[in-house]
Structure 1
């Protein structure tokens, strides 16, 4: 099969599987919805308040949906042996894996960009006098960065799912790493380099800690690259 045909088949899977669509759009609803509620009810008592970052208050919830989308897009193939059918149609495993992650990543990026701009604009409007305009320092960068951040997390989760071949196992590994380690251990020199803490620096008007906005995303991209590479090895070397 040609690259175009494989890309189209992967896109059709996402369009027609309700679980994937719900997970994909769930990130938008959770992030924008919870952020809007938080912005509308903000009491103005924080001394070091960052209105840009506050617009993404719901991102910790939305990123779980993004991780679920990436995991399900890959792990579902191994449920009931469906992967054998697809590898029979696309014997070149590298082509199959690359096209799948490309479509998954682009879908996550598109929805992530919408999420970023909706969260930013609605959040600033609901903050009232505490809000800033889209031209404020770091505002547009944060909206674009939100989309890139969610796309990288999604592809990272997809790579882990390719290694573990289990939705439960992949979720049990990725969700705690990106959602629970930072709150448990707090903001330390070590946790600054965790995937979520590093990637979310782009959401701050003024990044905190040793990483800048784009270098933080670069650290997350390295995590993602390692997961994708390990997933590629697993797909190439293991039996279907």
Structure 2
């Protein structure tokens, strides 16, 4: 099969499997719901505080959207390990590297499109609740954060997808990543701030700040997250090539 045909088949899987389609849609739905809830209730109070960071506050809900992005990446890969589906896929596409590359491209491309839509929509909708404190995409750092936020969500989906290919279990990956993202950064922040800065979520979210502090800039922080995703993808590729279906 040609790369185009394999990529098309992987896109059909994402589009036709309800759980995958639902988890991808949840990225947008979750982020918008939290944006409306947070900025609609206390958004103006936070904006008028001294030292408020309007750009980062506008993308606060991506912390919740990333969980849905991780769930999508994990589910899209783990479905291959249920009921012998991987054997069928490899019978159709014996070239494992081609199969793996097409699957990750479909996952990353889908997550990127939805991530960008989510990031821009959340920003524009959130500003409707801020009245005189609302900012536009022309505000310093806002457009960069909107684009970077979409890329960040895609990278987190790929990070989860690579780990799932390695561990062959979405449950294991979610059990590992969700506490890692929600708990570990706060522990490291108190013990070793320099270490916490290089964790995938903390580094990637620097692109959401108007003026990030520390040695990493907004795009270099996103590059650190990309490096985490690349390592996970390489580990998953090794597992798919070396292990029995």
Could you say which TM-score interval applies, normalised by the shorter chain? over 0.9
Correspondence list, 1:65-104, <5 A: 65-104=68-107
1:239 maps to which of 215, 222, 244? 244
Contact 2:28 2:65 in 1 (8 A): yes
Provide the rounded CA distance (Å) in 1 between the counterparts of 2:30 and 2:214: 27
Structure 1 spans left out of the alignment, 5+ residues = none
Q: Distance in 1 between matches of 2:87 and 2:7?
A: 18
Aligned to 1:40: 40
How does the TM-score come out when normalised to structure 2? 0.94
**Would you say 1:146 and 2:155 are equivalent positions?**
no
- Alignment of 1:210 with 2:212, yes or no, is no
2:204 pairs with 1:199: yes
Moved more, 29-38 or 135-144: 29-38
Task: Note the C-alpha offset of 1:175.
Answer: 1.9
Task: State the number of aligned residues.
Answer: 240
Structure 1 Cα separation of the partners of residues 197 and 133 of structure 2? 27
In the TM superposition, what are the counterparts of 1:133-172 in structure 2 within 5 Å?
133-172=136-175
Q: Which residue of 1 aligns with 2:128?
A: 125
**TM-score scaled by structure 1?**
0.96
Q: Partner of 1:229: helix, strand, or coil?
A: helix
In structure 2, what is the equivalent of residue 9 of structure 1?
9
Instruction: State the distance in 1 between where 2:147 and 2:186 align.
Output: 25
